[in-house]
Amino acid sequence: MNNTSLLGLIIYSVIACCVIMALVWVWAYKIKNAGVVDIFWSYNFPVIAIILYLFAPGYEPRKLLICGMVVAAGFRLGTHLALRVLKHLREEEPRYAHIRKEWGKNAEPKMFGFFQMQAISNVLLAIPFFIIALNTTPCISWIEYTGFLLWLISVIGEAIADQQLANFKKDPANKGKVCDTGLWGYSRHPNYFFEWLMWVSYFVFALGSPCGYLAVISPAIILYLLTKVTGIPTTEAQSLRSKGEAFKKYQQKVSVFVPWFKKG
């Protein structure tokens, strides 16, 4: 097993993610559906984890644990998204169709750039994984196990939220309605909350390694993206367009993000 430098690990990861996203863009261009980028954004994290497991010089059991966590979470989310997107592969998700309309004739070149930026974001967000995989300390500390337990809670919570929403959408009687049952009765975005909590767990895990505090950048970026950029703002804008008054009432009743706080 090779002991590759940090720079080498970053280069391998960037090349792998950018090549994958370039191929995904070609596919998306052919089918006119940019929504497939979400699937492979999730799958790219397991790719990075495998690179780190194979080439990083860290303590083997620690690498196995963190890489197993990343692979499990990435494949769960990616497969969940794949099942959703593949059901309407020839029909682009409204949020991406809206972006494509705004970009006009320059949509495809901009989409390629967007896909490549997604690849770069994969590597940037993987900072905790790099820190952990480079740690050669021959034992796993209590704080690392704490991070693992927090990760387990977040993955289970996100899976429950995703399944509850999927079950709601399956019922024809709910067409045009807003899911407000289960965790969705306490948060408008419990899936996003647990996704963010998962990145917090990686940060906590990284605190057991030298310079682990630098890993805080990942949950900070995810929180910003979810609350200000591509997560909650675009999702709620689309819900307002498609569900109108029903979603406005839901916004007034249910907290935007935190599952344990319910309005009223």
- Over residues 115-144, the pLDDT tens digits come to 999 999 999 999 999 999 999 999 999 999
Domain ranges within the chain, ordered by starting residue? 1-139, 141-264
What average pLDDT score do residues 225-254 get?
Answer: 83
pLDDT value at residue 1: 43
**CB contact at 8 A, 75 and 43:** yes
**CB contact at 8 A, 80 and 39:** no
The CA–CA distances, whole Å, from 214 to 71, 118, 144, 178, 198 equal: 22, 21, 15, 39, 16
Helix, strand, coil abundance in the chain, percent, nearest 5: 75, 0, 20
pLDDT value at residue 95: 75
Distance CA 153, CA 163 (A): 15
- Over residues 143-199, the pLDDT tens digits come to 999 999 999 999 999 999 999 998 998 888 888 888 888 999 888 899 999 999 999
